[in-house]
Structure 1
Amino acid sequence: MDNIRHRHITSFQSGYDPVLEPIVFDEKRKTKKPFRISSIKLKNTLAPALATIRNFYNKYYNIIHPLSFTFLSFLTRFYLISLSDVVMWDESHFGKFASHYLNRVFYFDVHPPLGKMMVALAGLLAGYDGSFNFESGTRYPEDLNYTFMRMFMASFGVLMVPLAYFTSIELGFSKHAVILVTLMVLFDTAYLCISRFILLDAMLLFFTFMTIFCMTKFHNQKCDPFSANWWRWLIMTGISIGCVSSVKWIGLFTTALVGLYTIEDLWNKLGDLSIPKIDYLKHWVARIICLIVLPILIYIGCFAIHFAILTHSGPGDSQMSSLFQAGLIGNDFAENPLELAYGSRITLKNTGFGGGLLHSHVEEYPGGSGQQQVTCYHHEDINNDWIVLKPREIEIYDNETDVDVEFVNNGDTIRLLHLGTERNLHSHEVPAPLTRAHWEVSCYGNDTNGDEKDYWVIEAVDDIYKKTNRIRSLSTSIRFRHKVLGCYLRAANIGLPDWGFRQVEVTCDKRNNPKDIFTHWNIERHWNSRLPPGGKANYKSKFLRDFWNLNVAMYNANNALVADPDGFDILTSKPRQWPILEVGLRMCNWASDLIKFYLLGNPAVWWSGTVSLIMFILTLFCYLVRRQRQYNDFSPVQWTYFLYVGRICLIGWLLHYLPFYIMGRVTYLHHYFPALYFSILMAGFLMDHFTASCSLKTKNIIFSIHYALIITIFWYFKDTAYGVYSPNIELRGKKWLNTWDIVD
């Protein structure tokens, strides 16, 4: 159009925003007039472009959606991740474990090693040298790239979001429900907060999500058994449960869910007469290999790597067997004389799981005999040392003379003299302080004064390497039978009260149970200047025995994590409080002038998940009653699908939640996080179910309201995860429940 010119029309002149508006020449009136866009039919111009965009979206939404959610997940998890430069909450534990790995010193913890080795890997990649002690509340040094370590751990939290998205698809959810579940995981402030620190929880949740995803993928291959995809997802399921169990033992609940699913699947196949017997046997073999053998190998392999890295003596030595400790660099147990002789100075370790060293001190029992206490103690102390002597009636062996050394043999009667107080290990017919069915063990008399109740018969149980009548250091397991009472020296990890310094009770058990490992002891340290050192060749530990001992020690230590009955811990909570979000958790010092983090879930996510669980139970009950009355609300395929998804969500939630009611250990809010995921899946499932008959417009409105509620509440509470800068008094608006201690 040659007669078109342009002029700049401002909003002040025309009432529109500033635009370049074309001007045309009116031939009839010989005047100029604006050329309006509407005159060329805007609709006809934009419609093809909009149609192209819509077609592109419809064609690639299965890529656009997960990429968008993953991008938002990266954004939310990494935003301000380095804001607080102090050691936060349990970063003090897991950062310290990373230091031990980098320094290669042996430590002990209640969790399996995979997650902590990944933390150490993050430190290694960050250039950390293992020199920082990670004391809670201290500032990170400038040469420690804590930001990278946090980002490494947060990456597991990032991947939770796409896993939730794809799992919802595999469960057959609609697009609306898939988005709902993904938003609930993406915008839950508790999941967000726990992912942004150097902790194991994001990794645990990632492998939990991964296991459920792989299981659902495998389920959807059931019509094509033994195909490449079928094997791929069965193997991936096994790898996932091996990994989740190797991060924390809570992962065993996820393993149990896969196990129940597998048992039901095999049971259903047993009733399918169209499956040849040889194929049915193959199903069993495939699952045993992939879901039992493979996870066990992964779990054991993590400990093999753990032992291979931690080759130096460290703070966790005492939890392991004496023989294992002898193989650590920096440990001098290999200098022990090999065979026990009279006059030797020794320490005795209880070989029960997590056993300590036989110990005594000058303090006396407040009740009972009132004699000197005998306990078990897990740390190096001069009060752990005893002298092996013959009974008084026999000439006492003089270790300083030139007389030939006389070795202790199986079945000998000996006397154990406590080095520090020069009193004899003793027992008598006085009930033990806590285990009243056993006799009390004390220290009594001295080297020259005492009675026959100071005598013990030494009985060899076995020796790891060589059967011999002599008692060998480290490798021989022995029992001590009281000469008069016939009871056996025992220590079973029962802690004494404060008067016993919380050390382990030692008793004399009237029962003769050779298999009771808490009556088994071995010589840990052995000094005798007249005997040559044994050497490392005689003190080699076996991996499987070490693996088993460490796992049982972890189990006992887990059970020992109980709340102090005389104190109040603001961080602990009860399982009944979790589904209703009755509590949050302060992750740091709550002073007004500090950046504060409060572990609190998104109420819209937690409460809707809990309501969905209740609604499913009621809905299932109603459907079962109606089916009993011959009302058919579902086709057989629909009913099978309803039960399949509902059971995964409900049983998964129950398996990850109910065990905490029977655990004796102390519990915290983050223990609910794996169970929360199943309640989120249930929310998406039920929203889908109840809106299935709605029109698309109605469904859009219902789901959009829920989306908006989740996002709005997340935005309101986001600072609890990103860091609260405000004085405590300004947080009152975020205290929706009186039980939330977000305000002092």
Structure 2
Amino acid sequence: MVSKSSGFLPKSSDLRLRDRKDQFNGTENIEDFLRTNEPLDDKLTKQLKKPQSFLHRDHWFHTFVCLALTVASFLLRFYKIDESNIVVWDEAHFGKFGSYYLKHEFYHDVHPPLGKMLIGLGEYLAGFDGDFDFSSNSNYPKSVNFKAMRQFNAIFSALCTPLSFYTAKNLDLSMLTVYLVGLMVCVEHSYIVLGKFILLDSMLLFFTVLTFYCLTQIYRSRKRQFTLQWLFWMFATGASIGCVCSVKWVGLFITGVVGIYTIVELYCLHCNKSISKTKYAGHWIVRVLALIVVPSALYMLFFKIHFALLYKTGTGDSSTHSLFQANLEGTQIEPSPRDVAYGSQISMRSHGLSPGLLHSHPQTYPDGSNQRQVTGYGHRDGNNDWIVKFSRSSGKANIPSHVSKGNYEVSGYGSDTMGDFKDDWIIEIVEQLPTGNKTMENKQLIHPLTTNFRLKNKELGCYLAATGLSYPGWGYNQAEIVCKYPWNYHDKSTWWNIEDHVNSNLHTDDTFTPPPSRFWKDFVVINFAMASSNNALVPDLDKYDRLASEPWEWPTLHTGLRMCNWGDSTVKYYLLGSPFNTWLSTATLPILVILIFVQLFRYQRQSLQFTEEKVWNVFVSAVLSFVGWVLHYIPFLLMGRVTYVHHYVPALFFAIMCFAYVVDYTLSNFNRYLKVVTYILLYAGCVYVYWYFAPLCQGMPEANLNYLYLQLLPGWDVSNAQFS
């Protein structure tokens, strides 16, 4: 019995309460918990419903701790954020990209537009008019409120702290471990220093953490499926996926984490014989709509906004197709004669994966014909000009293409007097577009911009095509052009159109209005152009990139990255993860794998009993966290592209979550006092390591030698003048 005066539960009930509290942890309110779980005895139910209960008090204390960590997170990122008044590191790129939205000038980049549109929004809110070119290491003029721009970016970094806090809480980790996760993210050096500047990395991290947080909310509400709460978090997860993938394609990695969880959950539902086929089909429909349709629609919507804002000609015109360029305000495509004839000088743009202009230069192929290279080139150049001439005849053996397989080389003699029969091409018209005022031109003639055609080699019968691949260094990494036998008539790699046309013998039509560009084509072309640009980011073996690093160096902190010039009078920043966070999280990764397999082995030997709740908890908090680290790290080991320290930023978050699970599991077997002492030591170590290495992320305004004490490893070029 319970004494009315004492207000305490008997020991047996207390044990039951702690048992059920593991399930209650993460439930938004007691009523939801009581509604979705089996009944408790009346006295325990009344105790849970009391607003003065320890659960209610703990809720406010947890909120207070999270709020304190969030405030600290903002303070650390805002602290002396304007101490360096020069353009630091990639601010030269992303600050400039943001300004293009204010000037409405079209540009091209390897990343989707959302992050840069947000940067443009921050610049707009800071009162920036776009009249600054963000040249690397240049001083910000007094008219540019770069402090407000950086603070806008820092908000995304600071908000990762409360998101990490509640993510760990949703994973049913003990609150002492939740505090540790929030603290680690709050004082992580790499997160702080990246949050201080106009970069994409903080936005990428924010949306990555947000997506994982929303996934944990789906996990929490899995017993209340088809409720408004469950539907909300399902669609919120999809929206987060759409956002993270619209900042960088690295967002596909966290999408993979969500996909794995979804597959496992659907499989478990399939194995549940009590669920009707109709309800199971409903689960599929909701997930397809929320996790596929919504992210895809958002991704396309951001490009729609991107195209709408950038309606003027700019530096990125060459990455798009001809009609898109022709519809830009101030287009570089000049009025020309509408009918192409013999003697016309033309430039031709491909409709393939590399929408470049047909190009040739004096450099020759290193083997094969050893004649002049014919390539695809994105920028305007005199070597893009071709003359339409009558055919000639002679003969020569066939030569295979140099990069792709099964095609033929396309080359040029570089002489008007030398040639052979394979120089002749037959024009096949595949599409005639109406003009902007809906009139149709002569379908038997070739017209700039509105006529799409194929070029068939007169002797071989193959078609001129852009493969989407690039030549190596000897071809200046330009697009490969071949003669191929297409898979069918609609193979866009063999489609071409005329962009520029000059013929002094023909009348120039100044009244021509180009047909409108189609969004779907614009969207597809610009995404393939982004993919091509990403593929071109390969290490140059002839040059030493002092900023680049190898992926194995990131989890070991073998080296960092200097974010600006290293003069004694410069406020210097060094991109390096916290040794406490990085080394400890890296060390626990193999421990976590062993721990998972040990639990699985014990479960198979029936020496460990797992409830369904416990299985899901291990899967989400341990397995998915580790999978998240693998998906965000291992691909960089396999890529052939150049890599940098900041590429480890999302993977570090999942490494921290792995560390948290191992700590929580290990310390759960400690007695109360030893557990508290251990956590206090972890908190103190985390804060002390931040304080000791704080100059790396808060700025080093003094002479280099004053920071010699920070250089723990030879690879940390903090104090030496090696690259100053």
Which bracket does the TM-score occupy, shorter chain normalised? Answer: 0.7 to 0.9
1:550 equivalent among 512, 517, 526: 526
Contact 1:610–1:679 (CA under 8 A) maintained in structure 2: yes
Correspondence 1:658 to 2:660? no
2: CA distance, partners of 1:701 / 1:464: 76
Per-residue CA deviations over 1:454-499 (Å, capped at 9, x if unaligned) read: 3111223444557944433224332222222334333435555666
- Match of residue 113 from structure 2: 113
How many residues align structurally?
A: 661
Sort the Cα spacing of 1:643 and 1:98 in 2 relative to 1 into closer, same or farther, 3 A: closer
**1:171-203 deviation digits (Å, cap 9, x = unpaired):** 111111011101110111011111110001111
Consecutive unaligned residues of structure 2, counting only runs of 5 or more, are: 1-51, 435-439
SS of equivalent residue, structure 2 residue 330: coil
Question: Which runs of structure 2 are paired with 1:38-117 in the superposition (5 Å)?
Answer: 58=58, 60-117=60-117
**Amino acid paired to 2:623:** R
| Corresponding residue for residue 383 of structure 2 | 383
| 1:556 Cα deviation from its structure 2 partner | 1.3
Q: Which residue of 1 aligns with 2:254?
A: 254
Find out whether 1:521 has 2:496 as its counterpart.
yes
CA–CA distance in structure 2, aligned partners of residues 64 and 198 of structure 1: 30
The alpha-carbon deviation at position 709 of structure 1 amounts to: 0.8
Q: Counterpart of 1:598? A: 574
Q: Does residue 608 of the first structure (1) align with residue 584 of the second (2)?
A: yes
> Does residue 668 of the first structure (1) align with residue 637 of the second (2)?
no
Map 1:169-568 to 2 at 5 A: 169-331=169-331, 333=333, 335-364=335-364, 368-391=368-391, 429-430=398-399, 438-444=407-413, 450-463=419-432, 468-492=443-467, 494-496=469-471, 500-509=475-484, 514=489, 516-528=491-503, 530-531=506-507, 533=509, 537-568=513-544
Q: Percent same amino acid at aligned positions?
A: 42
User: Cα 1:691–1:501, aligned 2, differ >3 Å: closer, same or farther?
Assistant: closer
Cα deviation, residue 436, structure 1: 8.3
What does residue range 645-724 of structure 1 map to in structure 2 within 5 Å? 645-724=621-700
State the superposition RMSD in angstroms: 2.7
Residue range with higher mean Cα deviation, 332-341 or 94-103: 332-341
1:623-646 CA distance string (max 9 Å, x none): 222233331254453344223311
Q: Which amino acid aligns with 1:604?
A: F
Provide the secondary structure at the position in 2 that maps to 1:254.
helix
The secondary structure found in structure 2 opposite 1:658 is helix
Query: Contact 2:323–2:514 at 8 Å: present in 1 too?
Result: no
Residues 463 and 686 (structure 1), Cα distance of their counterparts in 2 relative to 1, 3 Å cut:
farther
Bigger-Rg structure (1/2): 1
Return closer, same or farther for 1:67/1:83 CA change in 2, 3 Å cut-off.
Answer: same
After superposition, give the CA deviation of every residue in 1:356-399 in whole Å (9 maximum; x if it has no partner): 21223445556554544433322212232222123369xxxxxx
Say whether the 8 Å CA contact 2:313–2:332 is kept in structure 1. Answer: no
**Alpha-carbon distance in 2 for matches of 1:641, 1:459:** 62
Q: Structure 1 stretch 247-256 or stretch 662-671: which is displaced more?
A: 662-671
- Aligned in 2, Cα 1:75/1:388: closer, same or farther, shift over 3 Å? same
Deviations 1:595-647 (A, max 9, x none): 11100111110111112221111112222222333312544533442233111
- CA 158–298 in structure 1, closer or farther in 2 if over 3 Å, else same: same
CA shift in 2, pair 1:58/1:171, >3 Å: closer
Distance across 2 between alignment mates of 1:56 and 1:643 = 29
Please say if residues 165 and 178 of structure 2, whose CA atoms lie closer than 8 Å, have aligned partners that are also in contact.
Answer: yes
Write the distance in 1 (CA, Å) between the matches of 2:87 and 2:562: 14
**Aligned residue in 1 for 2:30:** none
The superposition leaves residues 304-325 of structure 1 with CA deviations (integer Å, 9 ceiling, x where unpaired) of: 0000000011110111001111
- Contact map agreement 1:487 1:512 (CA 8 A) in 2: no
Cα distance in 2 for residues equivalent to 1:237 and 1:59: 25
Encode CA deviations 1:337-357: one digit per residue, 9 max, x unaligned. Answer: 444333322111122223321
Whole-Å separation in 2 of the counterparts to 1:336 and 1:361: 25
Deviations 1:53-84 (A, max 9, x none): x9997573032111111110111010000000
Using the size of structure 1 for normalisation, the TM-score is: 0.84
CA–CA distance in 2 between the matches of 1:78 and 1:445?
60
Query: Could you list the per-position Cα deviations for residues 262-289 of structure 1 after superposition, in whole angstroms to 9, with x for gaps in the alignment?
Result: 1111111112222232222222111111
* Greater mean alpha carbon deviation, residues 361-370 or residues 351-360: 361-370
Distance change >3 Å, CA 56–CA 621, structure 1 → 2: closer
Distance 1:629 1:56 in 2: 40
Aligned partner of residue 273 in structure 1, secondary structure: coil
Instruction: Write the distance in 2 (CA, Å) between the matches of 1:523 and 1:737.
Output: 58
For residue 697 of structure 1, give the secondary structure of its aligned residue in structure 2.
Answer: helix
Asked if 2 retains the 8 angstrom alpha-carbon contact of 1:334 and 1:536, the reply is no
Question: Retained in 1: the 8 A contact 2:354–2:479?
Answer: no
Which residue identity lines up with residue 476 of structure 1 in the other structure? Answer: T
Whole-Å separation in 2 of the counterparts to 1:738 and 1:449: 60
Q: Which amino acid aligns with 2:135?
A: E
- Is 1:163–1:213's contact at 8 Å kept on the other side of the alignment? yes
What letter corresponds to residue 699 of structure 1 in structure 2? K
What CA distance in whole angstroms lies between the structure 2 residues aligned with 1:103 and 1:117? 12
Using the alignment, how far apart are the partners of 1:240 and 1:499 within structure 2? 42
What SS does structure 2 have at the residue aligned with 1:524?
Answer: strand
1:204 to partner: Cα distance: 0.8
Instruction: Kindly provide the amino acid, as one letter, of the partner of residue 136 in structure 2.
Output: S
SS in 2 for 1:375: strand
What is the alpha-carbon distance in structure 2 between the residues aligned to residue 364 and residue 688 of structure 1?
64
Contact kept, 8 Å, 1:456 with 1:482, in 2: the verdict is: yes
Which SS does the other structure have where 1:335 is aligned?
Answer: coil
Structure 1 alignment gaps of length 5 or more:
1-51, 394-423
Would you tell me which structure has more strand in proportion to its own residues? 1
- Aligned twin of 1:739: 715
Pairwise CA distance, 1:440: 4.0
* Cα distance in structure 1, aligned partners of 2:269 and 2:368: 64
Partner of 2:49: none
Structure 2 letter corresponding to 1:455: D
Work out the CA distance in 1 between the residues paired with 2:474 and 2:218. 57
Distance 1:372 1:629 in 2: 70
Comparing 149-158 and 564-573, the one that deviates more:
564-573
Which stretch shows the higher mean deviation, 699-708 or 726-735? 726-735
CA distance in 2, matches of 1:59, 1:264: 31
Residue 332 and residue 649 in structure 1: after superposition, are their counterparts in 2 closer, same or farther (change >3 A)? closer
State the alpha-carbon separation in 1 of the partners of residues 278 and 237 from structure 2. 23
SS of aligned partner of 1:694: coil
Kept in 2, the 8 Å contact 1:190–1:721? The answer is: yes
In structure 1, how many angstroms separate the alpha carbons of the residues matched to 2:336 and 2:604? 75
Pair 1:619-2:588 in alignment: no
- The one-letter amino acid paired with 2:459 is V
Task: Give the conservation status (yes or no) of the 8 Å contact 2:404–2:467.
Answer: no
Conserved? CA contact 2:477–2:536, under 8 Å: no
Mapped partners of 1:483, 1:693: distance in 2: 80
Amino acid at match of 1:672: Y
Distance across 2 between alignment mates of 1:332 and 1:573: 39
Of stretches 203-212 and 488-497 in structure 1, the one that deviates more from structure 2 is: 488-497
Equivalent residue, structure 1, for 2:4: none
Is the 1:188–1:602 Cα contact (8 Å) retained in structure 2? yes
Q: CA deviation at 1:431?
A: 5.2
Amino acid at match of 2:460: L
Question: For structure 1, which segment, 188-197 or 578-587, has the greater mean C-alpha deviation from structure 2 after superposition?
Answer: 578-587
> Closer, same or farther in 2 for the Cα pair 1:274/1:743, shift >3 Å?
same
Larger CA deviation: 505-514 vs 337-346: 505-514
